[in-house]
Structure 1
């Protein structure tokens, strides 16, 4: 049995919710199953919704603390590690996190609270990324996009794990890392994107017009992008 009264209350609540249903379960029943009293329940939680949800206050504090320590050269690492803090928490919860996900799909009050919590993470990430980017070209816009994309990328993979489509923690972590690779492209800015050369591989039997058409398509349109040049390699 979980060691602390809070942990026992959480475990008891999920057992009862799974067995009796959320609406049919009372606070008194949760407290009795956990071996505590009603007053102990309300020292830890304001109501049944709170006993279901993760400790977002503690998680937000840890995420904010990691982002606050980011150096200019380490911002991408900080964002990855901050998202990893949240993922690790859910993975450590295991069956409890998956039970919560099932409840959220059927109990509107829980679903609404979880949706609201997502926006808290977006605002926290945005607060820090704005501080990094606002003085750069399109910085405020990029900050909003980066913050939203980090949370969306993380949650896309988390939902796969919660549904059982991804079974093991290592795979979930790798998928989140890959998703964040897409999300963080805007953190590097347009200059980093523009400096990368475009390489087109052509077949040996293609004529010049075919090669030129491939180059134009690779550069983003019939006239290319900003006059960029491309390296051509024949195979």
Structure 2
């Protein structure tokens, strides 16, 4: 590896290379430090764990998203949320081969997949917090905000996975289309046509905890 390459980048690249060559569990932090030509102390100065080497930038991305949301007014909050999805997608697109290597790794290592799911939940909670603060206090408005947060993250992940698998080339265009679809969830019921829709989403909340909100939202739609 070139001497001028930043230590942090050498560590991340070296870690992903070794994880693919030897397997995640069979690779130690000492192996990664040696590949990057640094000591273990230096590695832990940058990363607190082996797991953090696989997901090195989510804290930075979360902060960028929070900054974007904090700067948005109530009327532009949904646009700010979709901008956050673009911020994260652009980061992965810039990583290119590293992002594809991470995808292969997280697809094959259950512990890393669990970590990724937990990270996704952080984005959902962040978006929900800001959207609900700018939404009507009624149950239907609060529920639409939560559904939209899940929809944005699900749409982003759908587009990202298609790009990582090589199924699409213009991920940015596809994300724009996906975000336009997600925006429908924020529209009040009287702005929609009379057709019915079923929304299926993944959430870390139990169905029992969601049912009261869903029932209240349905009651509001019928009145």
TM range (shorter): 0.7 to 0.9
Give the Å deviation of 1:192. 3.1
Corresponding residue SS for 1:105:
helix
- Where does residue 137 of structure 2 map in the other structure? 135
* Aligned mates of 2:188, 2:88 — CA distance in 1: 26
1:47-62 equivalent positions in 2, closer than 5 A: 47-62=49-64
TM-score by length of 2: 0.81
Is 1:36 paired with 2:38? yes
* Aligned mates of 2:122, 2:187 — CA distance in 1: 24
Give the Å deviation of 1:185. 1.1
TM-score by length of 1: 0.77
Of 59, 66, 69, the residue aligned with 1:67 is: 69
* Aligned mates of 1:192, 1:13 — CA distance in 2: 51
* Aligned mates of 2:189, 2:56 — CA distance in 1: 37
- Where does residue 156 of structure 2 map in the other structure? 154
Give the Å deviation of 1:137. 6.1
1:85-96 equivalent positions in 2, closer than 5 A: 85-96=87-98
Query: For the pair shown, which has the larger CA radius of gyration, 1 or 2?
Result: 1
* Aligned mates of 2:30, 2:74 — CA distance in 1: 51
* Aligned mates of 1:64, 1:220 — CA distance in 2: 36
Contact 2:77 2:130 in 1 (8 A): no
* Aligned mates of 1:192, 1:71 — CA distance in 2: 22
Corresponding residue SS for 2:26:
coil
Give the Å deviation of 1:30. 0.8
Contact 2:75 2:134 in 1 (8 A): no
- Where does residue 128 of structure 2 map in the other structure? 126
User: With CA pairs under 8 Å and 6+ residues apart, which has the higher RCO, 1 or 2?
Assistant: 2
Give the Å deviation of 1:143. 1.1
Contact 1:10 1:52 in 2 (8 A): yes
Gaps of 5+ in 2: 197-220
RMSD: 1.9
Give the Å deviation of 1:4. 1.8
Give the Å deviation of 1:153. 0.7
* Aligned mates of 1:220, 1:43 — CA distance in 2: 56
Is 1:76 paired with 2:98? no
- Where does residue 206 of structure 1 map in the other structure? none
- Where does residue 185 of structure 1 map in the other structure? 184
Aligned length: 195
Q: 1:46 to 1:145 in 2, by over 3 A?
A: same
* Aligned mates of 1:220, 1:91 — CA distance in 2: 37
- The structure with the largest strand share of the pair is 1
Q: 1:68 to 1:188 in 2, by over 3 A?
A: farther
Give the Å deviation of 1:164. 1.4
